[in-house]
């Protein structure tokens, strides 16, 4: 790999084997109180010619590519994205999918014609952070969206033909508002019926405003037990309304919970509505283990003790 080849610092775990193409740098919003990503970057678009110039060198590094991921936080902001996608498809014709992070505000700000053009140029799947379905919680963490806007933007993405992968942050309601967080997130997800729900557990990182809120007592982190109860409530209340199944993925280290120094919960996997009973049973088994244990730890408790350096 040459020194000139610029690769992104972050990607979803599901894109671990993807070719990484950096289309933008940083995040155009970058105000979420829980997020520690991109804090040393000002948002900017990479020139299309620079991106396209990287592709032959990427092909040398990845002689066969099943998938391609576009970074950083919102490649849909790039005015030359259709041309970039066409160049990627020419360079990696065997790729089964091209995916990208996106933001609800960007989806709402693009015409349906523009979204269809981007989809037809080769972008298949969008990863978007819903985080919570509660308007109050979204405002508190400065997410920059509301539930109604998230629903409208998600519907636009699905109508344009994208696969939609939405993220929910378990524990974002804290110890006090976990029921609101679970039930209202389930309500939004039921309205949208995305193709994927990816669960991430809140890890309160040093240097973030949410970490300061914890130190001051303004935010009380959800315990691992509370987070698991919240996840169970979310699955219990989620009623997809589309003909396609909603795949639930816990594909991240943050979801793990240890009881007495042994793994007690690794997350849940399955499709709704088909696998609801099995996922609820998995939550119940883990809850029984946690309730009977003497010591419970998860990545968030480890991070607060300085024993977890990074989640990425």
Measured between alpha carbons, how far is 302 from 223 in angstroms, rounded to an integer? 12
> The pTM is what?
0.93
Of 66, 75, 2, 87, whose CA–CA distance to 44 is shortest?
75
- For 217-276, the pLDDT digits (tens) are 999 999 999 999 999 999 999 999 888 899 999 988 889 999 998 999 999 999 999 999
What is the CATH T-level fold of the domain 1-123, as seen in this structure? Transcription Regulator spoIIAA (3.30.750)
Which tokens in the block code for residue 44? 């900017």
**More reliable by pLDDT, 252 or 47:** 47
CB atoms within 10 A of CB 207: 8
Report percent pLDDT > 90 for the chain. Answer: 85
Band the pLDDT of 306: cuts 50, 70, 90: low
H or E segment at 201? strand 196-201
- For 160-217, the pLDDT digits (tens) are 999 999 999 999 999 999 999 999 999 999 999 999 999 999 999 889 999 999 999 9
Phi, psi of 53 (to 5 degrees): -65, -30
Domain layout of the chain by residue ranges: 1-123, 137-305
pLDDT of 6 reads 87
Contact 178, 226 (CB under 8 A): yes
pLDDT of 304 reads 58
Measured between alpha carbons, how far is 127 from 87 in angstroms, rounded to an integer? 21
Measured between alpha carbons, how far is 203 from 310 in angstroms, rounded to an integer? 10
């Amino acid at each position: 790999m040459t020194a000139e080849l610029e690769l992104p610092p972050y990607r979803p775990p599901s894109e671990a084997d993807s070719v990484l193409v950096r289309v933008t740098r940083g995040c155009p919003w970058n105000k979420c109180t829980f997020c520690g990503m991109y804090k040393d970057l000002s948002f900017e678009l990479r020139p299309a010619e620079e991106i396209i110039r990287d592709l032959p060198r990427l092909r040398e590094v990845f002689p066969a590519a099943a998938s391609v991921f576009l970074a950083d936080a919102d490649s849909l902001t790039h005015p030359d994205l259709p041309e970039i996608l066409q160049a990627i498809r020419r360079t990696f014709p065997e790729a089964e999918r091209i995916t990208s992070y996106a933001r609800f505000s960007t989806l709402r700000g693009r015409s349906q014609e523009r979204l269809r053009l981007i989809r037809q140029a080769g972008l298949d799947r969008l990863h978007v952070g819903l985080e919570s379905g509660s308007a109050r919680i979204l405002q508190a963490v400065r997410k920059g969206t509301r539930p109604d806007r998230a629903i409208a933007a998600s519907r636009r993405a699905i109508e344009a033909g994208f696969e939609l992968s939405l993220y929910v942050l378990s524990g974002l309601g804290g110890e006090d508002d976990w029921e609101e967080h679970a039930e209202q997130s389930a309500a939004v997800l039921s309205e949208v019926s995305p193709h994927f729900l990816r669960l991430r557990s809140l890890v309160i990182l040093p240097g973030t405003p949410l970490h300061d809120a914890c130190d001051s007592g303004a935010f009380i982190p959800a315990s691992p037990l509370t987070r698991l109860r919240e996840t169970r409530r979310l699955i219990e209340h989620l009623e997809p309304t589309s003909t396609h199944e909603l795949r639930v993925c816990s594909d991240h280290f943050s979801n793990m919970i240890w009881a007495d120094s042994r793994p007690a919960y690794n997350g849940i996997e399955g499709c709704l509505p088909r696998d609801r009973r099995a996922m609820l049973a998995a939550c119940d088994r883990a809850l029984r283990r946690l309730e009977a244990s003497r010591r419970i730890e998860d990545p968030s408790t480890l991070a607060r003790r300085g024993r977890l350096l990074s989640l990425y």
